[in-house]
Amino acid sequence: MCGIIAYKGKRPDAASLVLKGLKKLEYRGYDSWGVAVKTDLNIVIHKKIGKIGELNIGKLKLPTSHLAMAHSRWATHGGVTDKNAHPHASCGNRVVVIHNGIIENYLQLKKALIKKGHKFVSETDTEVAAHLIEENLKKYPGKIDKAIFRHEVQRSLEQFKGRYAFLVMSEDCDSIVAARRGSPLIIGKGHDGDYFIASDIPAFLDYTNEVMYLDDDEMVVIDGGHDFIDLKTGKEIKKRIVKIEWKAQEAEKGSFLHFMIKEIMEQKETIHRAINQNEKLMKKIADAINKAFGTYFIGCGTAGKVCIAASYLFSKICKKHVNVQFGSEFPNFQHFIKKNSLLVAVSQSGETADTLEAMEVAKKKGAKLLTIVNVEGSSMDRMADLSIHIKAGPEKAVASTKATTAQLAIVTLLAYACAGRLNEGKKLLIEAASQINDMLNPRYEKHILELAEKIKNVESMYVIGRGMNYPMALESAIKLQEVSYIHAEGFAGGELKHGPIALISKGTPCIALVANDETRSDVISNAIEIKARGGFIIGVSPRREEVFDYWIRVPDAGDASPIVNIIPVQILAYQLAVLRKNNPDMPRNLAKSVTVK
């Protein structure tokens, strides 16, 4: 969702530091952006709708300062306007806040504050926070020390219902306060009293890789040093400093035009990295799955499709039934959860609100929690009893690619581990990784580009698959929708004849995802049925089949077929986006990490 960053320290260029950091966070939200800069006299705010991407920071002529914070927005309450952009100030500009999340009871608080004379200028829920804190500070006219500031922010937070990550500044205090309930905030500790607070690590990775995690219902006051406070008990808490292994350049585009294509190409290495797991851990997890009274794979969006793929892989490889639900729907099935059930949360960010809620629900029922996650130290990583890190490195394009295939590799490996054939699974995936390395070459990209040129103006397209390629048909549709904005839908091949085939007319592109397994002949029959109604058949398949109007060759990868089959569709989606002049890294209406329900 929204991107947040703040800097407090000895450097005088706080404004430019946070704006540079914000550019790195823009994948989290890009409706509008804004910055607040604290000077000796006041707080200067600059905010604007649109993307921060190409902003010439120098041109803004922001004052020199040691304390600043910035925000990129993904609108929830109130349209995309300059006024609704963050930061938000109280009437007298005494208090300025930025926020990620939703204050559920903001209307009630707003009414009460209006009665007390507060004047609101935006339609956001966030603005109530600035006015409420100002109201609570009224009894301390003039400069305030950090203890008062902390106390009154804490008192104000107690009145909010909902999820949030807040940063608060006051023109009468040199400290900055951050608080969290449900939305991520990470503290970066630089050298020489430098501090960063951000919703994701790449925002400050150029300056430090030493971080402290703020947990739910915690607050931190930064003022040359740091004080962490448990909001429930009011007591100070000690935090461990964690060293992050990511390199700053991993979060850069390098010579690529977009992050999406860079991340697609990185799949030459990421599968290898993903499967390089501690054998003992894999066996321990396989044992937990084998012994659990019901295993539930939970994820949202693309991660949800990986969960569906897991159910096919487990059924085929280790003859085991696992349940699958989207995070947002899982609470409806909590009645089946027992103490010895196991919930497996799959996620790139580890911060998706719906998946986190599912974990909370399962935890309350006493179930064991496992996560398959990319971002180490994320909320899911810290909440789970056991974690498998997929090691894909920072994924910045909104459309997930390398994290998806790394997750697929892990669930495949786990299915093999549950069957007691871990080494066989590893061998299969190593072979797939080297096949992907051969596949991802400029000639391959060009072949897919020729197809993209042919179909770039279509209104709708369809994707079919069977068995473990059915979830990949669903995932293909998400990829095409997200970045090309072409209406796309994925179906189980056998389902088309029960209704959706009515949508096929002359020239409708239909991608058939084919594996060289027991589903091959049936999915080819389904493609023939579509062709008979005028459909243009694009085959993603190890073999050329007569029915294909366009063939994209993929290696014959056995049970790793979902991994190799999704990659050409990722490339096609990317190329369609570029040809249709869309920004594939920041698709309209979307945000990378969905931290609201």
Q: How far is the CB of 302 from ligand M6R (least distance, A)?
A: 3
Cβ atoms < 10 Å from Cβ of 583: 17
2 by DSSP, 3-state: which? Answer: coil
Between residues 165 and 221, which has the closer beta carbon with respect to ligand M6R? 165
Q: Which of 468, 594, 595, 596 binds ligand M6R (CB under 6 A)?
A: 594
Between residues 156 and 379, which has the closer beta carbon with respect to ligand M6R? 379
For position 541 contacting ligand M6R by CB under 6 A, the verdict is no
Between residues 201 and 594, which has the closer beta carbon with respect to ligand M6R? 594
Q: How far is the CB of 378 from ligand M6R (least distance, A)?
A: 9
Q: How far is the CB of 479 from ligand M6R (least distance, A)?
A: 7
For position 300 contacting ligand M6R by CB under 6 A, the verdict is yes
For position 349 contacting ligand M6R by CB under 6 A, the verdict is yes
- Residue 232 CA to residue 236 CA, distance in Å, equals 11
Residues in region 392-421 near ligand M6R by CB under 6 A: 398-400
- Three-state secondary structure along 522-577? HHHHHHHHHHHCCCEEEEEECCCCCCCCEEEECCCCHHHHHHHHHHHHHHHHHHHH
- Residue 135 CA to residue 130 CA, distance in Å, equals 9
Give long-range contacts, CB 8 A cutoff, 24+ apart: 522-530. 522/466, 522/493, 522/494, 523/464, 523/465, 523/466, 523/469, 523/493, 526/464, 526/466, 526/493, 526/494, 526/496, 526/497, 527/464, 527/493, 529/496, 529/497, 529/501, 530/462, 530/464, 530/496, 530/501, 530/504
Are 493 and 547 in contact by the 8 Å Cβ rule? The answer is no
Are 45 and 96 in contact by the 8 Å Cβ rule? The answer is yes
- For CA atoms 474, 477, 481, 482, the dihedral sign is positive
For position 463 contacting ligand M6R by CB under 6 A, the verdict is no
Q: How far is the CB of 10 from ligand M6R (least distance, A)?
A: 35
Q: Which of 126, 295, 352, 405 binds ligand M6R (CB under 6 A)?
A: 352
Between residues 65 and 379, which has the closer beta carbon with respect to ligand M6R? 379
Which range binds ligand M6R by CB under 6 A, 80-88, 168-176, 298-306, 449-457? 298-306
- Residue 386 CA to residue 161 CA, distance in Å, equals 30
Q: How far is CA 250 from CA 191, 197, 324, 435, 597, in A?
A: 22, 20, 32, 23, 30
DSSP 231: T
For position 301 contacting ligand M6R by CB under 6 A, the verdict is yes
For position 97 contacting ligand M6R by CB under 6 A, the verdict is no
Q: How far is the CB of 125 from ligand M6R (least distance, A)?
A: 22
For position 199 contacting ligand M6R by CB under 6 A, the verdict is no
H or E element that contains 189: strand 186-189
For position 348 contacting ligand M6R by CB under 6 A, the verdict is yes
- Residue 224 CA to residue 153 CA, distance in Å, equals 19
- Residue 467 CA to residue 511 CA, distance in Å, equals 15
- Residue 433 CA to residue 439 CA, distance in Å, equals 10
94 by DSSP, 3-state: which? Answer: coil
504 by DSSP, 3-state: which? Answer: coil
For position 324 contacting ligand M6R by CB under 6 A, the verdict is no
Between residues 153 and 300, which has the closer beta carbon with respect to ligand M6R? 300
- Residue 257 CA to residue 275 CA, distance in Å, equals 29
In this chain, which residue has its C-beta nearest to ligand M6R? 301
Residue 474-493 contact track with ligand M6R, rule CB under 6 A, x = bound: ----x---x-----------
Tokens 């084998």 found at: 290
Between residues 300 and 571, which has the closer beta carbon with respect to ligand M6R? 300
Q: How far is the CB of 90 from ligand M6R (least distance, A)?
A: 34
For position 303 contacting ligand M6R by CB under 6 A, the verdict is yes
Q: How far is the CB of 527 from ligand M6R (least distance, A)?
A: 26
Which range binds ligand M6R by CB under 6 A, 135-143, 146-154, 341-349, 512-520? 341-349
Tokens of 536: 């243009």
Q: Which of 347, 476, 519, 575 binds ligand M6R (CB under 6 A)?
A: 347
Burial of 557 (0-12, 13-18, 19+ CB in 10 A): buried
Between residues 211 and 300, which has the closer beta carbon with respect to ligand M6R? 300
For position 355 contacting ligand M6R by CB under 6 A, the verdict is yes
Q: How far is the CB of 589 from ligand M6R (least distance, A)?
A: 11
- Residue 95 CA to residue 132 CA, distance in Å, equals 9
Between residues 305 and 426, which has the closer beta carbon with respect to ligand M6R? 305
Residues in region 227-256 near ligand M6R by CB under 6 A: none
Query: Which residues are marked as active site?
Result: 2, 592
Between residues 127 and 585, which has the closer beta carbon with respect to ligand M6R? 585
Please work out the total of residues on this chain that contact ligand M6R, with binding judged by CB under 6 A. Answer: 16
Burial of 39 (0-12, 13-18, 19+ CB in 10 A): middle
Between residues 160 and 574, which has the closer beta carbon with respect to ligand M6R? 574
Q: Which of 270, 302, 565, 570 binds ligand M6R (CB under 6 A)?
A: 302
Which range binds ligand M6R by CB under 6 A, 92-100, 278-286, 328-336, 347-355? 347-355
* Binding footprint of ligand M6R on the chain (CB under 6 A): 300-303, 347-349, 352, 355, 398-400, 478, 482, 593-594
